[in-house]
Amino acid sequence: MLHAHDVEMICGARHGDPFAVLGPHAAAAGRTSVRCFLPGARSVAVASAKGVLLGPLVQQDETGFFEGEVALLPGTAYRLQVEWSDGHSASIEDPYRFPLVLAEMDVWLLGEGTHLRPYEVLGARPSVMDGVAGTRFAVWAPNASRVSVVGDFNFWDGRCHPMRCRRECGVWELFLPGVQAGAKYKFEIRSQSGEVLPARADPYALQAELRPATASVVAQLQPFVPPSADRKHANALDAPISIYEVHLGSWRRKEGNQWLDWDELGDSLVAYAVEMGFTHLELLPISEHPFDGSWGYQPVGMYAPTARFGDPAGFARFVAHCHAKGVGLILDWVPAHFPTDAHGLGNFDGTHLYEYADPREGFHNDWNTLIYNLGRTEVSNFLVGNSLYWLERFGVDGLRVDAVASMLYRDYSRKAGEWIPNVHGGRENLETIAFLKRMNEVVGTERSQAITLAEESTAFPSVSRPTYAGGLGFHYKWNMGWMHDTLAYMERDPIYRKHHQGEISFSLVYAFTENFVLPISHDEVVHGKGSLLNKMPGDRWQQFANLRAFLGYMYAHPGKKLLFMGCEFAQDREWNHDQSLDWHLLEHAPHAGIQCLVRDLNTLYKATPALYQLDFVPAGFEWLEHNDTEHSVLSFVRRGLDKRSFIVAVCNFTPNVWNGYRLGVPQPGTYHERLNTDSAHYGGSNVGTPLATATADDTAWHGQAHSVVLNLPPLATVFLEWKA
């Protein structure tokens, strides 16, 4: 019979090796000792898989521990016939008769931190073992003394289902027969000191409850989405990429201020993106997060699409709908930090498992969040696997990595003495750099059609250069310098702009050092910064005209484009995540004009290779004049692969009309106006060159052998296309 100490440890949920006690154990020849712990059971008997009664078990402890020998060959399936204290009877499978959950190769790769798809074996995965349907549970908690699965299937009782520890990799595992998709669960963990920690949500959960509830939900893994040559072409460096950035909870709401679900968003949001001519949607983080006000940037469930809009299958349908309509989908992705919520990753197994132990390395003072210890291979693997999960299992086109600057530098937003140098005494976070390189290499190898984009606000070199060339391996980098300088210029009264011409032109000094995206993101229209419209100076007409000129300049400038929702129709107020955008503004002509302009800019952009094919090489750009400070005029040429076709962009950042403005041009011939942001169609004054064409003469100007004479409209950008 079992030692009383083992019985006591099982009944008290303190035993670290339950399979050494529970389940079948060899006894005399042809017999097996069966032990089980079933709180609330009155009697237990063992039956064969076909229901033949083999014998009763003896209750050894009043809390529900039973033991006995039966005529059963080792390895033979059996069931437990249970009579519960409430009088009900049931025939159940014994979880402790089933074999190991993790295969040896998975154990090896998890321990090594090189498992490309750890989500396939960790977490809760519905499966069949020995012909029995149930769910495999596995969680990494190497420093725990005991881990149990708790859920709505066992009254959240940590005594019922303690797990087996695979010491080779620190993973606890258990197969629970009968537990199916939809079951709610967590992991109850006892630390080495004996403390029972608050129940943890599953780091690898594929689904979660809607906040404020915090349980994980058993869910099927989404099927693999095959690679697509079309999507690879649409995401390429020489493709037109115009991104509409969206916070799903506040883009548009339905009656009662309720969120749209995935299918409703598929019908409305995707259709709107198509109508407006955007090539991609970018969603603020949709990984499960407990607090709406974090906008998703403090995620707890990295593998779970938020329950706010439906289940994971709904999100998969949304992605498929995007692609069916020719729209790419990019997700904001947050490997920089995570919140301190008790059900999350912090102090996960009673130790600083996912985060650095020292707050000088492991805590963000700006956001009150914890920082991943990316020097730990299992943590790095958790995130690298997560990047591949979204790309392969949902088919999303790319990941925009948030707060990269905060990851790269150990002294980010820290004073002297508040940070720890790296092993060489420097400020760079070498572990993060290695992680980002590996993540980008894995994505490039396993999902070559996908792209990664870095929100990186410093001068860290070669962010969007290949790792083999010494770069971080991102495909694109957000051009925060362009955003800052250009908005600073646009916010100035036009009378003073001539003194700050360098702000609007400086971005071309470094424009080809990275593969840049020009971002006008959510960060520019919150926290007292005002809306994009209200950044513009002047009376109401001039505000709209300035905004139109700015948008035209943005689409003419080298780099892919990103515009936050609401900016495309000049929302008046700051963005508020708790309510819908102000769609009623489109009843007013100036706002409708801005929307029409953005639609036409996207149309022109996609139809004009000169505006996108050579975004990242100097051959795609040529200044005509950037020193005309007296008129606050900028003019330049954009070229594509076909050198005989090019676009001339001219920007007048004053409210004055410059009649008879002579502009040097590269070729003789006729220049046709393709778009004028001052058109009455957009709410402008309709000033422009007569007949919207200009013929070059032989007058040398601006360093060019030919020139044209234009009437430049006030506060406007004009696109001219050359034809021989």
Is a pLDDT exceeding 70 seen at residue 724? no
Is a pLDDT exceeding 80 seen at residue 130? yes
What's the mean pLDDT in 653-662? 97
Residue 723 banded pLDDT, cuts 50, 70, 90: confident
What's the mean pLDDT in 326-336? 98
More confident residue, 600 or 4: 600
Is a pLDDT exceeding 80 seen at residue 526? yes
Strands 280-283 and 242-246 turn out to be: parallel
Is a pLDDT exceeding 70 seen at residue 1? no
Q: What is the C-alpha to C-alpha distance for residues 581 and 559, in angstroms, rounded to an integer?
A: 27
CA nearest neighbour of 620 among 639, 635, 606: 639
CB 388 within 8 A of CB 122: no
Q: What is the pLDDT of residue 4?
A: 86
For residue 637, what are the contacts with CB-CB under 8 A and spacing of at least 6? 621, 622, 623, 624, 646, 647, 648, 649, 666
Residue 701 banded pLDDT, cuts 50, 70, 90: very high
For residue 651, what are the contacts with CB-CB under 8 A and spacing of at least 6? 549, 552, 553, 556, 633, 634, 635, 716, 717, 718
Q: Which residues are catalytically annotated?
A: 402, 455
CB 355 within 8 A of CB 370: yes
Q: What is the pLDDT of residue 638?
A: 98
Helices (H) and strands (E) in the chain, counts: 15, 37
Lowest mean pLDDT among 85-89, 176-180, 245-249: 85-89
Is a pLDDT exceeding 90 seen at residue 691? no
Is a pLDDT exceeding 90 seen at residue 29? no
Q: Which domains does the chain show, CATH number per domain?
A: 4-97 (2.60.40.10), 104-217 (2.60.40.10), 236-334+394-414+447-609 (3.20.20.80), 611-723 (2.60.40.1180)
Element (H, E) at 625: strand 621-628
Q: What is the pLDDT of residue 134?
A: 98
Whole-model pTM above 0.85?
yes
What's the mean pLDDT in 460-467? 96
CB 704 within 8 A of CB 666: yes
For residue 407, what are the contacts with CB-CB under 8 A and spacing of at least 6? 335, 336, 429, 432, 436
Residue 41 banded pLDDT, cuts 50, 70, 90: very high
CB 581 within 8 A of CB 571: yes
Beta bridge partners of 510: none
Residue count (the chain): 724
Residue 644 banded pLDDT, cuts 50, 70, 90: confident
Q: Is 20 helix (H, G, I), strand (E, B) or coil?
A: helix
Q: What is the pLDDT of residue 75?
A: 87
Is a pLDDT exceeding 90 seen at residue 683? yes
Q: What is the C-alpha to C-alpha distance for residues 368 and 294, in angstroms, rounded to an integer?
A: 11
CA nearest neighbour of 187 among 117, 140, 219, 120: 140
Alpha helices by DSSP H, listed for 559-686, are 589-607
What's the mean pLDDT in 33-50? 95
Q: What percent of the chain has pLDDT over 70?
A: 100
For residue 91, what are the contacts with CB-CB under 8 A and spacing of at least 6? 47, 51, 79, 80, 81, 82
What's the mean pLDDT in 667-688? 96
CA 278 to chain centre: 19
Residue 460 banded pLDDT, cuts 50, 70, 90: very high
Residue 380 banded pLDDT, cuts 50, 70, 90: very high
For residue 590, what are the contacts with CB-CB under 8 A and spacing of at least 6? 540, 544, 570, 683
Q: What is the pLDDT of residues 85-125, one digit of tens each?
A: 999 999 999 999 999 999 999 999 999 999 999 999 999 99
What's the mean pLDDT in 7-14? 93
